[in-house]
Amino acid sequence: MTGRILKHFGGMVFFKHLLIFASYAFIAAVVAVATPSTFPVIDANLALVIGGLVLVGSMALHEVFARRERDYSTAQRFYSLQQAYMQLKEDVGLVRRTSLRLEEALVLGPDGKPKNIGPDMDKVVAEVRVLQSLIEQLSTKRVAEQKDEEKAPSANGGTRVNGTSLPTRTIGREGPAPIVKPLDDEEVLDYVRQGLRTDRIDLYLQPIVSLPQRKIRFFECFSRIRVDDESMMFAEQYISIAEKEGLIAAIDNLLLFRCVQLVRKAQKNNHNVGFFCNISPHTLMDRKFFGEFIDFMGDNTGLARNLFFEFSQADITERWKDIAGDLEHLARLGFYFSMDRIEDLSLDFEDLARRNIRFVKIDAGTLLSRRPDDLEDEAEAEDVEGLVEALKQGLNDNNIDLIVEKLEAEEDLIELLDYDIDFGQG
pLDDT digits (tens, 9 = 90+) for 380-400: 445 666 778 888 889 999 999
pLDDT of residue 127: 39
Kindly report, residue by residue over 298-332, the tens digit of the pLDDT.
888 889 999 999 999 988 888 888 888 889 999 99
Confidence of residue 357 (pLDDT cuts 50, 70, 90): very high
The answer for residues whose C-beta is within 8 angstroms of residue 193's C-beta and 6 or more apart is 123, 127, 247
Distances (CA, A) of 315 to 278, 346, 368, 403: 11, 16, 24, 19
- Give which of 319, 400, 390 is closest to 358, Cα–Cα: 400
Confidence of residue 353 (pLDDT cuts 50, 70, 90): very high
Cα 336 vs. chain centroid, distance in angstroms?
13
Global pTM exceeds 0.85: no
Kindly report, residue by residue over 183-200, the tens digit of the pLDDT.
778 888 888 888 777 778
- SS3 string, 24-75, reads HHHHHHHHHHHHHHHCCCCCHHHHHHHHHHHHHHHHHHHHHHHHHHHHHHHH
For residues 88 and 142, the answer to whether their CB atoms sit within 8 Å is yes
Percent of the chain residues past pLDDT 70, beyond the cut = 74
pLDDT of residue 289: 77
Indicate whether 5 pLDDT > 50.
no
pLDDT of residue 104: 64
Helices (H), 179-268: 185-197, 235-244, 248-268
Residue 424, exposed/middle/buried by CB under 10 A (0-12, 13-18, 19+)?
buried
Confidence of residue 276 (pLDDT cuts 50, 70, 90): very high
Q: What is the mean pLDDT of the chain?
A: 74
From CA 360, how far away is CA 340, in angstroms rounded?
A: 6
Indicate whether 120 pLDDT > 50.
no
